[in-house]
Amino acid sequence: MNPRDAILGAIRASLGHEPADAANVAREAEALIAAPARFQPKFDNETNRSRFMARATSERLTATVDEVGALSDAPGAVRNYLVRANLPLSIARPPAALLRDLDWGDVSGHETLSPDEPVAVNIADWAIAETGTLVFTSRPDSPTLFNYLPLHHVILLDGGKILRYPEDYWAKVRQSGAAHPRSTNFITGTSGTADIEGQNIRGAHGPRFMHIVIFGGAP
């Protein structure tokens, strides 16, 4: 008997009941997570934006944040960051139209990534306020590695795209009816590790520095 049949057979033998009706199982599963407010951390006194910013800049996540009025103001904020961080005025950025079309001034951009890339700039799909998380998905104009290889990770985030809970993100995905991309990446702060004596250290293999430029959106 092939392993697949053996495994499924063993499980069925243990369960000893008739194959379940898929609709019933789905209903049961749905009921388990009904009224998610029961287990979602409440932060009623904070807006999505204020919660997101508080989490992002917390000691645990260590991101820095700039707020600008519009997307067109973002390159200026990015340039200021590069200067503050003593970085050359040269960034890696994915081949996204939104990024190409911005006026970068004297900050040069390249669309290739080297293993020791100092800084990459990307635009986030969404953010999640609960945990200060940024959401990226893999697309031809948004390769995954721009978010993991560089030392400095600079993210442009539309202030109007800060969702409250991860469940809100998954609801949007369902509503869109689109197929899932190869990867959906929830990124929360800079990379780190607690592997040596449990001490929290930032900058393991992923980015060590994160700077978020929030443009537009309600305060």
Contact 64, 211 (CB under 8 A): yes
User: How far from 199 is each of 15, 30, 99, 170, 206, CA to CA, in Å?
Assistant: 44, 39, 37, 33, 17
Contact 64, 214 (CB under 8 A): no
Cβ at position 70, least distance to other proteins in Å: 28
Cβ at position 83, least distance to other proteins in Å: 24
Residues 140-179 close enough to bind other proteins by CB under 8 A: 140, 143-145, 147-149, 165-167, 170, 173, 179
Cβ at position 111, least distance to other proteins in Å: 9
Contact 107, 85 (CB under 8 A): no
Cβ at position 30, least distance to other proteins in Å: 9
The window from 31-39, 66-74, 83-91, 96-104 that contacts other proteins (CB under 8 A) reads 31-39
Task: Return the residue of 39, 86, 218, 219 that touches other proteins, per CB under 8 A.
Answer: 39
Q: What are phi and psi of 162, to 5 degrees?
A: -95, 110
Task: Return the residue of 28, 69, 72, 108 that touches other proteins, per CB under 8 A.
Answer: 28
| By the rule CB under 8 A, 207 interacts with other proteins | yes
Kindly give, in sequence order, each residue whose CB lies less than 8 Å from that of residue 98, ignoring residues fewer than 6 positions away: 71, 123
Task: Return the residue of 121, 190, 209, 212 that touches other proteins, per CB under 8 A.
Answer: 190
Cα–Cα dist 95/65, whole Å = 24
Distance of CA 84 to the CA centre of its chain: 24
Task: Return the residue of 7, 27, 80, 100 that touches other proteins, per CB under 8 A.
Answer: 7
